[in-house]
Amino acid sequence: MQNSVVSLFLCLILITAAAAQNAPPEPPTVAATGYLLIDLDSDMVLAAKDSDQRLEPASLTKIMTAYVVFHELQSGSVKLGDEVLVSEKAWKAPGSRMFIEVNKRVTVEDLLKGMIIQSGNDASIALAEHVAGSEEAFANLMNDYARRLGMDNTHFVNATGLPDPDHYTTPHDIVRVTEATIREFPEFYKLYSVKEFTFNDIRQHNRNNLLWRDDSVDGVKTGHTENAGFCLVASAKRENMRLVSVVMGTASEKARLSESQSLLNYGFRFFETHRLYGANDNLTRTRVWMGEDEQVSLGLAKDLFVTIPRRQYDKLNARTEIQPLIEAPLAKGQKVGDVIVELDGQEVLRRPLVALADVAEGGLWRKAVDSVLMMLE
């Protein structure tokens, strides 16, 4: 009895100590070849395993296929109402299909729905051929956009995700194109939350079953081949916090759902995201030497978000480090220091502190006076 009381007492001490630190627990164990959980706004990684390992993406590829088409729609090169003549190659596409017919015309809008909702390989090829003339040329476009997004461990050879030794990506790279889609094309991103689509009198369901299990989930894409295993990119928003998870190489359709749900629940349960400063907010001012103006306002080029363990906001502190002796000419957006955010004394992120206005060179008199003053500094 005495040992039981001592054991209970020790457990209470440990629980109390953990609660006092308010440290989040370790992430859940995820049965996947590689995975990643990230906050969209702060870009902070909350859980990861082999997130930069090159893996076969299967139909996660279609996130990039859609992203390229969205850019073409935005530029006006392609329109939703365009009628696409279905080629024999598209019609014969193996794997998942939306059941388009050869030599029939289908609108870009319907093809997008068939690709995003039903994961149709036939729709993916038809869109690629319409945009670039051939699937091979379209893959070059995909790789161009991948480079622009910093997807350094990605290479595409097709628009579908059908297996190829030179077709690969990573969980981290897939997050990059997913985040870009959500930020740049919010109206088109809504397609990923559509639960079903009827084409040619065939009713087709979205393969992302998380849309039915979790109301906060509004995307994104499933994938599966024998080599890739079962994959899923999921995104969910609860209150003002949006998380993106990627699981690649799970053992079953059920596993990719449960593992994704586990990651999302972990992130929302134990973390919170705060917007600390807005883009172009005047955070401080500093002296500019040799310029028409003696001072310039400093701030951030982009909104600054931070993701931290829950109930730790009062332990946040932000400070600036400014370069000494800043001289004109100074361009708006030019880095002159850093904004450092600390949690309980530990640095959690650092962002460039930039000039919020141009400062031109001063005249001869200003330069002469400042030269003397600088020597006295």
Q: What is the mean pLDDT of each run of 10 residues along the chain (377 residues)?
A: 38 40 86 98 97 98 98 98 98 95 97 97 98 98 98 98 97 98 98 95 94 97 97 97 98 97 98 97 93 94 97 96 93 97 95 96 76 74
pLDDT value at position 4? 37
Q: How far is CA 249 from CA 54, 171, 261, in A?
A: 12, 11, 16
Sign of CA dihedral 96, 56, 113, 267: positive
Check 51, 62, 87, 113 and give the catalytic one.
62
Catalytic residue among 51, 87, 96, 119: 119
Query: Alpha helix (H) ranges present in the chain?
Result: 2-21, 61-75, 88-91, 108-116, 121-132, 135-148, 171-184, 186-189, 210-213, 253-270, 364-376
The structural domains of the chain, ordered by start, are: 34-271 (3.40.710.10), 278-376 (2.60.410.10)
pLDDT at position 6, please?
36
Paired tokens of 369: 């006076």
Can you give the pLDDT at residue 14?
38
pLDDT at 21: 53
Q: Given the residues 59, 87, 124, 260, select the one marked as catalytic.
A: 59
Q: Is 62 a catalytic residue?
A: yes
pLDDT value for 22: 63
Q: Which residue in this structure is represented by tokens 């956009």?
A: 145
Q: What is the pLDDT of residue 10?
A: 38
Give the burial string for 173-207 (b: 16+ CB within 10 Å, else e). Answer: bbbbbbbbbbeebeebbebbbeeebebeeeebebb
Q: Is 260 a catalytic residue?
A: no
Mean of all residue pLDDT scores within the chain: 92
